[in-house]
Amino acid sequence: MDIQPYLDSFPLPANRGILSEINKEKTEKSVREAMQNPELVASELVKRLLDPGAEGNDIQARHLLHTMAVRIPNYDKKLKGDIRAKFSLVLARALSENYPDRVKAFIIRQLQICGGGEVVPAIGAFLIVNGIADDAAQALIAIRKNSAEQFRNALPKIKNNLSLYCNILHGLAELEDEGSKDFFIEALESKDEGCRLLGLWGLVQIADSSTLELFLKAEQKEKGYSRIKSTSYCFKFAEKLPKREALKVYRHLKDTRTSTREKYILEIVEIELAS
Amino acid sequence: MKSNRRKFLKTSAVSAASFQIVPRHVIGGQGHTPPSETYGAALIGCGGRGPGTYERMVKDLPSKLVAACDVQKSRVDGYVKRKNPKAKTYNDFRKLLENPDVDLVAIATPPHWHALISIAAAEAGKDVLCEKPMTRFIAEGRAVVKAFERYKRIFQIGTFGRFGAFRSSTSRTIHKIMRSGLLNPNSGVHIKKGGLKLHNWSGKPGLKPQIPSEDLDWDLYCGPSPFKPYVPPRVGGTHRNYWDYEGGGMCDMGQHHFDPQQWIYGKDDTSPVSIEAFAPPSHPDVTGMWAWIELKYSDGFTFVMDSNEWGPGYDRKKSKQVSLSQLSEKDQEKIKAMPDPEPLLSFGEAVKQRKPAGGHPEAAHRAACILHLANLAIRLGRKLQYDPDKEQFIGDEEANRFLNVPMRSPWHI
């Protein structure tokens, strides 16, 4: 399939390097035609993507592929078909091919826009790959459907890599994954303060009152900026709990935020306790 | 006039609706400077607008610069050297926020950091003046609103046109008509033609990656946004040209233009329900061209942005100001009998009185929503229906993904 006419309708940098010469009629016509055969067009576009800095130019290919990713969910709804899923699966399959990491990252970002549950396993495979794991995590968080399982499955494989471990904890917390309660609790014992904070935040996100005592015991050990954040997690946890349990949190804060520099916290707590 | 503790407490006592929490510097206490007449002030983001934002924050407040922060070491060093060599310098805002001498924080980083730093500053007990646009995406704004409510801190967005609007009796009358609900359906149309700097803040795609200077903490600069290969325009004023950090001229200038209009037209607590753009396909990384955007509120009132820089001009409706003459005589009398709206407090007055500033979080968030919704109509290429209470698009799950964009670990709202 010759997609060059579609690409040619998209602009290259003009004056000052910007895309000021873009023509709406021509580009829209190309997009409409490309959408008649989105799987084939997508597979051809992927082949034209380049590693940033490589010789050549993929500006038009990126522009068209992104436009298709943004618009295909709406086409899908109009046609009541499954072209969004088919298009996404073409992109997902490309992730297992031999493309540069930054090309794969770009493809994952397009799936973040249009992908559904069908592409989650393909993206999940990158949660254990340095350099693409954060792209994968953010795409999975955006897609949500079936994503938590990918994070949970990846976690045991990367426990010795702090950056990947935190990336996964972060994803599980964002997804408010109740099945990750034990992972969050385990993170509270980490020597890394960022990791501990993600554990605390994860517990806030799932707001399971059975973890409250453990949460309060762990949070009070934090110092400096981490203490500022753990205090905010206390407030957020309390806001999610029934009043009786929320009062436990406020009393805990009253007992533990006793230094002068935390007086502003105490004043908020007093208001909450009096309400 | 100098602020002192006695005057502060006196003012606070008569402010029934004021916040109950006094700033830390007033409290004093062990290990801290006793109640003083000076606010400890800090600047985060020392390039570009930073110094000006700082000066705006401390206007009318007795203060001194005690700390400054930038991910580019030479910038923070240079600023502190000029402003107050005794101030502490930081590369990481988290360390600055631990500093108990800081009462006030001016935030002038690129916008992908605005919400996170504003929230963290509130959590650290600081009052904030934050550069516009308030946020990079809509869910961030709601999180800022909640944080400032929770911590009872003062927030003012770094645009001040609404204070001028308040001084106009015509604007106050329009505000009262709009807030009264007597004009429904509302056929008012406000068109902003030009001034949104499309060409100035359009990005250059396809640049070759480079190695950032050792002076710049590129990882921290990217922060919650995707970690991308460094190209020089991603840093400095041209950060506006990247969706990762801002949203082009729309976000650079939009809050200036629409924040006062939002106040005049009484829309500080809501958002448009229908958004439609005339624009070509948007590039994935860089901002570009568009012709116009039409944003309608639930009562029928319409904002229009006409770029006047690309494509056809907007011709669906003519500009139509809301006025008393559109009401019945009886309703006109009702409007005339209404009291004027409460005066808008400057940041300095808000800090002293512990009352919300004129550009408070909810208003700033709603003004930023206008820009984000407009940009999303451009980027998504379809007409959008928006629920301003739930702050979600209706029946468009993929569009909703742009309202709460996942952040890079460990950042979250």
Half-sphere exposure of A1 (CA within 13 A, CB side): 16
| B123–A232 C-beta distance less than 8 A | yes
Tell me how far apart the alpha carbons of residues A7 and B229 are, in angstroms, rounded to a whole number: 24
Q: Do both B80 and B64 map to the same domain?
A: yes
Distance of CA B171 to the CA centre of its chain: 21
Q: Which residues of B touch A229 (CB under 8 A)?
A: 120, 123
Which B-chain residues 32-91 have CB contacts (< 8 A) with chain A?
32
Task: Choose the closest CB to B288 out of A19, A114, A166.
Answer: A19
Q: Within a domain: residue A256?
A: yes
Per-residue pLDDT tens over the stretch B141-174 = 999 999 999 999 999 999 999 999 999 999 999 9
Q: Do both B157 and B117 map to the same domain?
A: yes
Q: Which residues of A touch B124 (CB under 8 A)?
A: 225, 228
Q: Do both B180 and B142 map to the same domain?
A: no
Q: Is B409 left (phi over 0), alpha (psi -120 to 50) or beta?
A: beta
Q: Within a domain: residue A215?
A: yes
Q: What is the count of structural domains for chain A?
A: 1
Q: Which residues of B touch A66 (CB under 8 A)?
A: 281-284
User: What is the domain-level CATH number for residue B271?
Assistant: 3.30.360
Question: Exposed/middle/buried for B297, CB within 10 Å: 0-12, 13-18, 19+?
Answer: buried
DSSP B313-382: PP-SS--B---GGGS-HHHHHHHHHSPPPPPPPPHHHHHHHTS--TT-HHHHHHHHHHHHHHHHHHHH-S
**Any chain A CB within 8 A of the CB of B280?**
yes
Q: Which two tokens stand for residue B212?
A: 């950032």
| A201–B280 C-beta distance less than 8 A | no
Question: Exposed/middle/buried for A80, CB within 10 Å: 0-12, 13-18, 19+?
Answer: exposed
Sequence-distant (6+) residues with CB within 8 A of B187 are B300, B320, B326
Q: Whole domain around residue B135: which residue ranges?
A: 5-161
| B286–A171 C-beta distance less than 8 A | no
Q: Do both B142 and B271 map to the same domain?
A: no
Q: Locate tokens 């088919």: which residue?
A: A86
> Cis bond leading into B356, ω under 30°?
no
Which B-chain residues 201-230 have CB contacts (< 8 A) with chain A?
202-209, 226-227, 229
Q: Which two tokens stand for residue B42?
A: 């800090």
Tell me how far apart the alpha carbons of residues A111 and A109 are, in angstroms, rounded to a whole number: 5
As a three-state string, the secondary structure of B140-157 is HHHHHHHHHHHHCCCEEE
Q: Which residues of B touch A114 (CB under 8 A)?
A: 398
Q: Do both B123 and B195 map to the same domain?
A: no
Structure letter (DSSP) for residue B109: S
Shortest distance, CA A138 to any CA of chain B (angstroms):
5
Look at residues B138, B161, B184 and tell me which one is the last residue of a structural domain: B161
Q: Is the ipTM of this complex over 0.95?
A: yes
Q: Do both B262 and B131 map to the same domain?
A: no
The residue of chain B with its CA nearest to that of A266 is B21
Q: Do both B155 and B283 map to the same domain?
A: no
Shortest distance, CA B167 to any CA of chain A (angstroms):
35
Q: Give me the residues of chain B with pLDDT under 50, please.
A: 1-22, 25-35
Q: Which residues of B touch A10 (CB under 8 A)?
A: 281
Q: Backbone phi, then psi, for B405, in 5-degree steps? A: -80, 125
Q: Do both B196 and B116 map to the same domain?
A: no
Shortest distance, CA B359 to any CA of chain A (angstroms):
23
Look at residues B161, B192, B219 and tell me which one is the last residue of a structural domain: B161
Its pTM stands at 0.94
Per-residue pLDDT tens over the stretch B385-409 = 999 999 999 999 999 999 999 999 9
Q: Within a domain: residue A104?
A: no
The residue of chain A with its CA nearest to that of B205 is A59
**Any chain A CB within 8 A of the CB of B185?**
no
| 10-residue averages of pLDDT along chain A (275 residues) | 96 94 98 96 98 95 98 86 94 97 98 98 98 98 97 95 98 98 98 98 98 98 98 98 97 97 96 94
Tell me how far apart the alpha carbons of residues B325 and A187 are, in angstroms, rounded to a whole number: 65
| A13–B204 C-beta distance less than 8 A | yes
Shortest distance, CA A210 to any CA of chain B (angstroms):
24
Tell me how far apart the alpha carbons of residues B144 and B118 are, in angstroms, rounded to a whole number: 7
pLDDT (0 to 100) of residue B11: 33
Shortest distance, CA A66 to any CA of chain B (angstroms):
6
Task: Choose the closest CB to A31 out of B281, B288, B382.
Answer: B281
| B204–A18 C-beta distance less than 8 A | yes
- Contact yes or no for A116/A85 (Cβ under 8 A): yes
**Alpha helices of B197-243 — where are they, by DSSP H?**
218-222
Shortest distance, CA A224 to any CA of chain B (angstroms):
6
Q: Do both B156 and B169 map to the same domain?
A: no
Q: What is the count of structural domains for chain B?
A: 2
Q: Do both B95 and B124 map to the same domain?
A: yes
Identify which of A174, A102, A103 has the alpha carbon closest to the alpha carbon of residue A138. Answer: A174
Name the CA radius of gyration of chain A, rounded: 24
CB atoms within 10 A of CB A263: 18
Q: Whole domain around residue A266: which residue ranges?
A: 190-275
Shortest distance, CA B169 to any CA of chain A (angstroms):
39
The four Cα atoms B244, B247, B253, B258 give a dihedral, to 10 degrees, of -120
Q: Do both B171 and B52 map to the same domain?
A: no
| A70–B379 C-beta distance less than 8 A | yes
- Contact yes or no for B203/B384 (Cβ under 8 A): no
Q: Do both B121 and B260 map to the same domain?
A: no
